């Protein structure tokens, strides 16, 4: 029986200590932010809708940005146990210089519209943290003022090729004279993407007052006070302003940009040169052959071509092809330090953060940018410790599995038929296309449109959640009718990163067919084939897939001794 007594004052005293209130509103806001999403929420409250949406939005239906963020959320980590990682070293060497963390601040345009401190706050915070800061051609702070804000740190300059080439050449010379050590030559903006939020908000440069903007400004007077009492926005690269951001870009950018322009800039620039906006393997190889120092896999934060390739999915392919010869970096979709860990594990040498930096800037100016860097760094170090790694060099592809809800589809039914194995009666099979590479090869799974519609009344389509375009993942294949289990193909390793004892096998190396007569051989092959359908109970065999489907998830989980994860389709 529970014994009760009257509480004593000396027992209550330790429980009655009140937290001292924080009177500084900015510090109070930032102290309550634990994630980049928290900073985003603060930024949305404090910034006029048009300026916030310019930062937060992307092109058209914003599918590219959503997929990029989902790709990082669909990462499965594989920690190494009993490996103490007390002191974690997050430093790295990038493009001939040091960085305290494996990420830097990406170039962002019109930054003082978000918050009046703009690039000055970003450059100063980056310098204090020991990471590079990148100034955009469309920045609202001059090259020389950024250098003054970050005199001892590393400054990079992002260059657009303008219709008036002399503007681009002049900016290149000024950045070199100011001591910027790296030029980021951007190639994904021949014209502006369709940024529909800007059009719907009537967002223009400079901002124009309408009834809606006035109503939206009433609860945010501080933004307008800052905007109206500080120097007007000036753009070294724009001869005139007025109109939406898209209008300005279309007027300034030159859609005829070519490799000849790259050659001219290469001659003008004395330091390292990196190409930003690369979105396929062949372009990566050609650029490296031309002698550039690095590439940035990027779809411009989803702000140009909607439904563009996801840089994180593309990363392993590019690293395999050119990682030995050049620096491979990436951006787009990074919202957590764990995202950076995943990118480094799959071969990226460095990453860039844009929106995350601007969320911090809008939430609290310079202190907000400091908070962004601190949040990402804390998450990065914690993830590394939980994985059992003490340095970035210890991260390798065996630590990461890429999962995705999307799978490529053959372009024609004829291709699907040619790529598919012989079909069993009453069973619809998958077709596949395989692209071979180095050890482990590169393979792409495809779903036949024809097979997606033909099935018996007892066959239903499986909801798919499967790894795609990964070069290093783990596979545990569930067995067929015999009850045996098959280990998947050995993990493909990125050439420049030593894999840890083939701890994982590639997932997603081939498409599947459910053939009862081939169950045993399918279980023993090094590239197991999968099925995307649940067939009737009369189907004799189920062959487990490296690409997990709802039909095979339960048996695969059983073979691994792990709970079955939830799968759902994204079209």
Residues involved in catalysis: 300
Dihedral sign, CA of 40, 44, 46, 48?
A: positive
Distances 536 to 5, 41, 425 between C-alpha atoms, Å: 66, 49, 12
Residue 62 structure tokens: 């914003």
Residues 6+ apart with CB under 8 A from 333: 65, 68, 69, 71, 72, 310, 311, 312, 339
Three-state SS for 346-400 is CCCCEEEECHHHHHHHHHHHHHHHHHHHHHHHHHHHHHHHHHCCCEHHHCCHHHE
CA distance 314 to 531: 25
Q: Of the candidates 392, 401, 298, which has an alpha carbon nearest to the alpha carbon of residue 353?
A: 298
Residues 6+ apart with CB under 8 A from 274: 95, 182, 183, 184, 185, 292, 293, 294, 295, 296, 327, 329
Write down the residue that tokens 């840890």 correspond to: 500
DSSP letter at 119 equals H
Q: Of the candidates 539, 538, 407, which has an alpha carbon nearest to the alpha carbon of residue 463?
A: 407
Number of H helices, E strands in the chain: 21, 18
The neighbour count for residue 5, using CB atoms within 10 Å, is: 6
DSSP symbols for 246-314: HHHHHHHB-TT--HHHHHHHHHH--SEEEEEEE-SHHHHHHHHHTT-SEEEE--GGGTSSTTPPPHHHH
Number of Cα atoms under 13 Å in the Cβ half of residue 421: 20
Number of Cα atoms under 13 Å in the Cβ half of residue 328: 33
Buried b (16+ CB within 10 A) or exposed e, 347-359: bbbbbbbbbbbbb
Q: Of the candidates 195, 126, 111, which has an alpha carbon nearest to the alpha carbon of residue 156?
A: 126
Residue 383: left if φ>0, alpha if ψ -120 to 50, beta else—which one?
Answer: alpha
């Amino acid at each position: 029986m529970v014994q009760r007594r009257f509480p004593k004052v000396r027992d209550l005293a330790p429980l009655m200590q009140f937290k001292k209130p924080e009177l500084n509103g900015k510090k109070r806001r930032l102290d309550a932010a634990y994630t980049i999403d928290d900073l985003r929420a603060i930024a949305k409250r404090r910034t006029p809708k048009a300026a916030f949406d310019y930062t937060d939005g992307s092109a058209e239906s914003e599918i590219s940005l959503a997929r990029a963020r989902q790709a990082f959320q669909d990462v499965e980590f594989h920690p190494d146990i009993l490996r103490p990682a007390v002191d974690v070293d997050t430093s790295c060497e990038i493009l001939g210089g040091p960085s305290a963390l494996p990420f830097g601040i990406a170039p962002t345009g019109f930054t003082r519209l978000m918050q009046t401190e703009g690039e000055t706050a970003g450059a100063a915070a980056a310098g204090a943290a020991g990471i590079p800061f990148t100034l955009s051609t469309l920045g609202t702070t001059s090259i020389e003022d950024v250098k003054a804000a970050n005199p001892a740190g590393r400054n990079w300059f992002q260059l657009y090729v303008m219709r008036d080439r002399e503007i681009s050449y002049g900016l290149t010379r000024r950045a070199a004279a100011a001591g910027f050590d790296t030029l980021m030559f951007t190639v994904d903006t021949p014209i502006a993407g369709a940024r529909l939020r800007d059009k719907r908000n009537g967002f223009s440069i400079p901002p124009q007052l309408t009834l809606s903007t006035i109503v939206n400004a009433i609860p945010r007077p501080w933004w307008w006070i800052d905007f109206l009492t500080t120097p007007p926005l000036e753009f070294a690269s724009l001869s005139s302003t007025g109109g939406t951001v898209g209008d300005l870009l279309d007027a300034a950018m030159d859609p005829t940009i070519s490799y000849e322009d790259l050659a001219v800039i290469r001659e003008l620039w004395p330091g390292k040169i990196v190409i930003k906006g690369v979105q396929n393997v062949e372009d990566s190889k050609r650029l490296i052959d031309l002698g550039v120092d690095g590439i940035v896999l990027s779809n411009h934060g989803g702000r140009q071509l909607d439904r563009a390739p996801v840089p994180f999915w593309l990363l392993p392919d590019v690293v395999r092809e050119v990682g030995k010869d050049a620096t491979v970096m990436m951006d787009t979709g990074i919202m957590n330090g764990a995202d950076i860990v995943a990118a480094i594990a799959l071969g990226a040498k460095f990453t860039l953060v844009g929106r995350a930096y601007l969320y911090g800037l809008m939430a609290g100016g310079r202190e907000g940018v400091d908070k962004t860097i601190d949040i990402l760094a804390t998450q990065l170090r914690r993830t590394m410790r939980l994985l059992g790694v003490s340095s970035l060099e210890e991260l390798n592809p065996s630590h990461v599995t890429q999962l995705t809800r999307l799978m490529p589809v053959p372009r024609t039914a004829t291709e699907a038929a040619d790529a598919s194995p012989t079909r069993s009666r009453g069973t619809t099979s998958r077709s596949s296309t395989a692209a071979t590479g180095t050890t482990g090869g590169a393979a792409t799974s495809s779903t036949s449109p024809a097979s997606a519609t033909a099935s018996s009344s007892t066959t239903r389509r499986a909801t798919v959640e499967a790894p795609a375009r990964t070069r290093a993942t783990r596979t545990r294949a569930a067995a067929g009718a015999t009850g045996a289990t098959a280990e998947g193909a050995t993990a493909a390793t990125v050439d420049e990163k030593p894999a840890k004892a083939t701890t994982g096998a590639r997932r997603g190396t081939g498409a599947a067919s459910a053939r009862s007569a081939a169950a045993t051989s399918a279980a023993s092959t090094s590239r197991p084939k999968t099925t995307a359908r649940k067939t009737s109970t009369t189907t004799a065999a189920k062959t487990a897939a490296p690409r997990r489907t709802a039909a095979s998830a339960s048996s695969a989980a059983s073979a691994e001794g792990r709970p079955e994860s939830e799968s759902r389709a994204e079209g």
